[in-house]
Chains A and B, each alone.
Chain A
Amino acid sequence: MACDPLMIWRPVPDKSFFQASVAGDENVFDVQLDVAFAGKPPQTIPHEMLVPGPAKIPINAGDHGAFDLLLNITGEPLPGTPVVVDLRIVDAAGKIVQVIDGKGGTVPAQCASQFTQPTGANPVGIVVVAVA
């Protein structure tokens, strides 16, 4: 599933991990991830930890917060080899967790999007709200 600009993933099990990874030619893009959790100091995960990643941020019982991924593509990726963003929440065993879909069911807490053009004045922003 492609990543929406805003995603709400809940409920997240205790001792889970938010994982973010980005792939592509590092010559043509820059990415970072802001992490903001209530009661915790903010973090900015730099490009080096996200590419190839995954960068792992722990989520514990009672946590709620937001992950804001910012992607700037300064050059044109070659056809068939786009910049790829993969976001997911996994449990302690590394398995993708299931979150509610708002329709009475569940969906995997995972998304992946690809980008094939320079972002110019419109950088990519993807916000994931996680509620444990």
Chain B
Amino acid sequence: MRSSGFDRITSELLQNRLRRLTYVVFLAFIVLTLRLWLLQVVHGPEYRTKSENNRIHLRDIPPFRGMIFDRNGHLLVDNRPSYDLYIIPEDVQDSKSLLHLLSNLAGIDPEAVRIRLTKAGGGQPFRPVLVKRDLTREALALVETHRFNLPGVMVQVKPQRHYLRGSFAAHAIGYLGEISEVQLKSGKYPENRPGDLIGKSGVEARWQEYLNGSRGGEQVEVDAAGRQLRVVSRMSPEPGINLSLTLDKDLQALAEEGLKDKKGAIVALDPETGEVLAMASAPAFDPNVFIGGIDREAWNQMVSGSDYPLQNRVISGQYPPGSIFKIVVGLAGLEEGLVDPGEEVFCNGSYQLGAHTFRCWKRHGHGHVDFHRALRESCDVYFYKLGRRLGVDRIARYAVMFGLGGRTGLRLESERPGLIPTSQWKLKRFGVPWQAGETISTSIGQSFVLVTPIQAAQMIGAVFNGGILHEPKVVRWVGKGENTVYRFEPTVRSRLDADPKNLDRMKRALIAVVNEPHGTGWRAKQKEIPVAGKTGTAQVVNLETEKASKGRQGIPERFKDHAWFVAVAPADAPRLAIAVLLENAGHGGSAAAPIVGRMIEAYLGDRAAGAEVASRP
């Protein structure tokens, strides 16, 4: 062989290179070993977690939201199954014909599905893609019967909030909406995740934390394609806590019927406990429509415009009280000794103060009126004179004593306080001193005075229940079942500091409003139940504007007076205090009183024997 043997020098040279090569090889292996050390030992635990996250999918099991009952255990809100349609991309054989069939059977828009599928696409063809939430019964039946022709289609059941009676008591119950970014970050919703529905108003919002329950979950082992292999572990969800409203289903229905096609509010309280028996606000809304996600257009319609269906007028509608405020002014007069009940005041239909003329609602005047008649027939002139004697600040003191001008303590969001003006308040607010003429308007519940319907109901209730102002309540009990229920006891907030004799005189006058001839509230009269009440007409605009718009017919709907009626029954042993407010409905006695009459008749007439239906949780 030619190449036999080595030249000594090159041989040594190459030998040396080979030795150095060995170092290079060692170095490379040290680098690789260090790399493995870094991955497997230093970062090993992190990668172990990552591989577990790869392998284990957490499947959410949403809890059942607590149910809501009326005071007698009638179910108002529960959860019904929502049948959601999913597609498993891998199992689909012919996507075109599948989408076509689905659109025929369940009215699913093929284009929308295609978009959802491509969006969800990626490496996991076995992962179900939600295509349509809440199939209708017909669609579900059709899908189930065609199951054989629908490979890759899956239907899953999830609980969905269901308001059994639609808009019934919607304002008290409230509605659900998707949790917002801000709410999620606030830390007040530890149980909730993006996409969850939470209470946005009413009891649903106030008791969110209790109603929500705690979510359960399943750990499912999946492979790289998203195929579910087995359930590794499961934690059952904890259903939410149920609650019973203080509302009476039948009384509530009557109240809502009374508001049909109208705008306004009706609230009925139990004067002995402060429990809200009915709480109706119109126009109302159907909380069910918020569940599937309300579209922008429908939402805009709800929040814009003048109807404000989402507003609970009972607690957040603030209106001038009109003549129902005479209860406050009248009692103030008696208590302050500024009224001799026998003293007669002459009403010729108007009252002159300086250059200004204040008119009585009765154009030709009431003639000679005493305290009793002045309330019964709601003589404005009598109260102008009384108000002038009292002055605005004394009126305000009694108004506040009646709980006006401040929140009632009802535990619902969005309650408004109303407004009771004082001379100081005006100076601060407008920088202008109080005018004598404003006291005149204030004494018949105009000028700046604003009350909410629930305040009005509480006010008249306090006259008849011995002067007690309760904290109103809409929730009677909360709990899981019969034995684990927490009942809310009545809470006394304050008492009227008034002479019982004066209260008696006020009661007699308010009974007269309904029961005596010429009483403005005669339309609420009942044969067997003694009813007391007071009408009111709240001017939306002042008299000048009213006159300016020529004649009654010329007044635009929104400038028409609001009608008030507050009532208590039975007057001797009160069990119902009602306030009705009808927006732009004209005179209080004619528009509002009949509704109250029907409510009293139904609620107390049926229960005349005193056999209240046993309440059950």
Q: Real complex partners, A and B? A: no
- List the interface of chain B (C-beta within 8 A of A): none
Could you tell me which A residues sit within 8 Å of B by CB distance?
Answer: none
